[in-house]
Amino acid sequence: MTSDQAQSRLCRDCLLPKPIEDFRLRFRDRPVRLRQCRECHNRAEFIRRSTNRDRLNRRQMAKLLTALKNQRSDLGVKALCRDMAARFGGVDGVVAHWHRSLDADLQKGGYAAFRHLAAILRLTQYCEQNKPDYGAISEEELEEAIGALGGPLSDSD
């Protein structure tokens, strides 16, 4: 065996010979190295963590939707919506996760699909109960509310 062969190893994933330094140590205090090169190991870890993250997000979404469906107080609905926005990175993140979860659960059917529909009904009920009466608001208050939403204050804008 030559010194070049002793200093290189064949990666079990990419099947390329690489220098021994490109293989992680199995343990810090021992010279035993993994059979995967660092690149292949990092790629495999990225996929594993991504899969775990998706699984955790699906589980979190399911729990939050069940809690939303069962929530009886309007204050609780607000708190759950705020919690969902914080966990999933804002309203856009909630919508994206909910959409993926809904698609998967509708294909499965059963209780998983029902949970989404019940949560949507509860949100609709909350919005209907708490919508402002725009007929009772003065013109100035209405313009102020529109301005707070970022809309134009007048037709000339």
Tokens of 113: 């699909």
pLDDT of res. 87 = 83
Tokens of 145: 């509310």
Q: How far apart are CA 79 and CA 84, in angstroms?
A: 9
Would you say 62 and 110 are in contact if contact means Cβ atoms under 8 Å apart?
no
pLDDT of res. 1 = 44
pLDDT of res. 151 = 52
Q: Which residues contact 108 (CB under 8 A, 6 or more apart)?
A: none
pLDDT of res. 144 = 81
Instruction: Please check the confidence at residue 103 and state whether its pLDDT lies above 90.
Output: no
Q: Is 119 exposed, middle or buried, given 0-12, 13-18 or 19+ CB atoms closer than 10 A? A: buried
Would you say 71 and 122 are in contact if contact means Cβ atoms under 8 Å apart?
yes
The pLDDT tens digits for 32-77 are 898 899 999 999 888 888 777 767 777 888 888 888 888 888 888 8
Would you say 65 and 112 are in contact if contact means Cβ atoms under 8 Å apart?
no
Q: How far apart are CA 139 and CA 41, in angstroms?
A: 64
Q: Could you tell me which residue, 154 or 52, shows the higher pLDDT?
A: 52
Q: Strand 23-25 to strand 33-37: parallel, antiparallel, or no bridges (unpaired)?
A: antiparallel
- The 10 Å Cβ neighbour count of residue 150 is 6
